[in-house]
Chain A
Amino acid sequence: MATVNQDPASGATGRIMIQLDGLRRVYRMESLAVEALRGIDLTLAEGEFAAIMGASGSGKSTLMNILGCLDRPTAGRYLLDGRDVSTFSRDQLARIRNHAIGFVFQDFHLLPRTSALENVELPLLYSSEPLSWKEIHARAREALRVVGLEDRMEHKPAELSGGQQQRVAIARALVTRPRLLLADEPTGNLDSRIGLEIIDMIQRLNREGLTIIMVTHEPDIARAASRIITLRDGHVRLDRSLVPLSVEELAERYREDDIEVDSGQEG
């Protein structure tokens, strides 16, 4: 387990990485239109670790998809490193998704019938870096080692638990060494102990300079971030900066919460 938590802002340079101005997203269906985002204004500095919270349907995933350049806003501007994303070509967007952003989907989206290793190698196959096959294998293995799956590399998704699949998805997001990690409920399918391991890993990556936006509906998990943004009905409801809690502190809270249920659990 990690030692004492450092200053959370240590990774942050203060340079603005993400800026959203009046961002809207309307889903149009045959008869009705759903306004998932109704004007989001938000600024995120490089090196920040932000948690996004909000009730189900409040627009968290919609926002993440736009931030990840997987989807486009209906209105409003999204500036990434000061550049308007809407001016990028499809190929430029693909390149950004490949090397600048790592995305962990709420429902993983692993290729079925494909080993964990090959799933993690996938982004590297589309990389513009001149990587040899040896390097590709080595980096995928390394990423799987980071998420603690070095002994499950040849397993197919169907042969992995939900939490293990989640970790493969995280390894895949990290394998291209992105500057921005977008994680939609990365601990949603994990028990608290493994969830905390993931959080520990995320905090470590953040200290190394990775900018992280993480969706979660667990208030305790959100406390690991230095900033908590709460959405409601497509608006930013609350935007608080807090002193992040270390994994040990979070674990302590869990124990208090679960004391009646898990009285026999060892520390």
Chain B
Amino acid sequence: MKWMALPVIALRDLRRHRLRTFLTALGLIIGISAVIVMVGLGQGARAEVEEQVNRLGQNVVLVFPGSRALGGVSIGGGSANTLTVEDAMAIRDEIPEVVAASPEVRSQTQVIYGRRNWHTRVYGQSPDYLQIRRWPLESGHMFTEEDLANVALVGVVGQTIVEELFEGADPIGETVRIRGVPITVIGVLSRKGMSLMGSVQDDIVILPYTTAFRRISGRSHAMVINVQVYDQHAMTEAQAKITDLLRERHRLGPAQENDFTVQTQQEVLQAATETSRVMTILLASIAAISLFVGGIGIMNVMLVSVSERTREIGLRLSVGARGRDVMAQFLVESVVLCVLGGIGGSLVGIVTTELIAHSAGWPAYFSREAMLAAVSVSASVGIFFGFYPAWKAANLDPIDALRRE
């Protein structure tokens, strides 16, 4: 047989069965793109968590309100009101290993400058915070202990704020309004990164915690206390001392459990990656289900066309096609379909991932492994259900194939 005849036969056949071709490719597209999106979101979430924890800095201990077991931790929780500003000050002043401490309070809120506004995270921290985070200013200066005492209406802003609110102009000395409170910008934080993660971090306003507590958040308790220890080797020591100190300050009897949790960055990371791993598995299962459903779609379309195909194969055999010619035709067809579906699915997956990343602000990564896995699974389903009946038919006597219902 003419070798060029194969692709021609296969393409003629795909064209002749446009609807079947489309539905099969659609099954592939849905399965593949679902996997790409889900795995992308899972990996993105995981990376975000790791990034959040990593950016804490190295010798950092975090004190969370409430008691929670390691592994059950959720980052940024803090529902219990057990940590006070005074607790933070006591940790800083009374424990020799501790060099800095900052009680933290966060709000998600609008920041208005002139006619522009931007939704961002507003943090209340102590002046130590930038040292704890190892986050230098790009220009201006950080608020001081005096500002803290005066509940000064000042703050420093991240690069994203400069871009979104000030359109790149120098914001120092300008006044923004946060929940109606006029805040004068006195410093600009350096850029954390060009990555998606980086720009999420740069989307921040930091105020003196007194200002944040009293004027912005309306809360009176810290969500977290960020503590910096002078050396990495003193972490365990510091952890124990903080625990003792807080138990004493909170007047807990020997039988009572801690009403706070002290964790090193390492412990937080462990717990958090555990959580995000669970989430990744969850998303991956959803993806697997979509892939399965897509696979059933392909299977269905293929099986429905088997009887029609069997007769067609019978005819091809009766005009002189050999079994292997028919097989080759079906292989080429499957490959063409898989390439179409694979490309389509990958494109849809990548675009959707990007859209979600941008519109929902949810970081997402494109995962090549996930794409390859999805393409190969859908392709095998497509090839199996397209090829296997064809293979069976091609081994029949032509007249039997022609007679199949």
Contact = CB atoms under 8 A, between A and B. Distances in A.
A122 B316 contact: yes
A45 to B, nearest CB: 25
A260 interface: no
A105 B400 CA distance: 14
Contact of B319 (A91, A97, A130): A97
Interface string B301-323: 00000000001101111111111
B231 interface: no
A176 B320 contact: yes
Given A97-B398, A122-B316, A131 B2 contact: yes
B1 A128 contact: yes
Contact of B1 (A111, A127, A176): A127
B10 to A, nearest CB: 11
B320 A98 contact: yes
B163 interface: no
Nearest to B1: A126
B1 A118 contact: no
B1 A70 contact: no
A123 interface: yes
A49 interface: no
Given A70-B398, A71-B397, A125 B1 contact: yes
A207 interface: no
B397 A72 contact: yes
Interface string A92-103: 001101110001
A234 to B, nearest CB: 17
B399 interface: yes
Interface residues of B, number: 28
Contacts of B12: 114, 118
Contacts of B323: 90-91, 94
Contacts of A111: 16, 312, 315
A71 to B, nearest CB: 4
A91 B324 CA distance: 9
A109 B402 contact: yes
A240 to B, nearest CB: 29
Nearest to A100: B320
B234 to A, nearest CB: 79
Interface string A111-145: 11110001000110111101101000000000000
Given A71-B399, A97-B398, A103 B318 contact: yes
Contacts of B322: 90-91, 94-95, 126
A5 interface: no
Contacts of A97: 317-320, 398
A112 B321 CA distance: 18
Given A118-B12, A125-B9, A99 B320 contact: yes
Interface residues of A, number: 31
B8 interface: yes
A8 B323 CA distance: 39
B320 A123 contact: yes
B325 interface: yes
A43 B366 CA distance: 72
Contacts of B314: 109
A126 B16 contact: no
Nearest to B400: A71
B319 A65 contact: no
A112 B4 CA distance: 23
Interface in B370-405: 397-400, 402
A104 to B, nearest CB: 11
B345 to A, nearest CB: 27
Interface in B264-318: 311-312, 314-318
A68 B399 CA distance: 10
A96 B107 CA distance: 83
Name, among A65, A118, A126, the residue most crowded by chain B CB atoms within 10 Å (CB to CB).
Answer: A126
A130 B5 CA distance: 11
A68 B317 CA distance: 12
B319 A98 contact: yes
A106 to B, nearest CB: 11
A118 B12 CA distance: 9
A72 B321 CA distance: 17
Contacts of B398: 70-71, 97
A172 interface: yes
A120 B397 CA distance: 22
Nearest to B17: A113
A122 B325 CA distance: 12
B399 A122 contact: no
7 contacts: A70-B398, A91-B324, A97-B319, A97-B320, A98-B320, A113-B16, A125-B2
Interface of B: 1-2, 4-5, 8-9, 12, 16-17, 311-312, 314-325, 397-400, 402
Interface of A: 65, 68, 70-72, 90-91, 94-95, 97-99, 103, 105, 109, 111-114, 118, 122-123, 125-128, 130-131, 133, 172, 176
The 8 A-B pairs of least Cβ separation, nearest first, read A98-B320, A123-B319, A70-B399, A71-B399, A125-B5, A126-B320, A94-B322, A70-B398
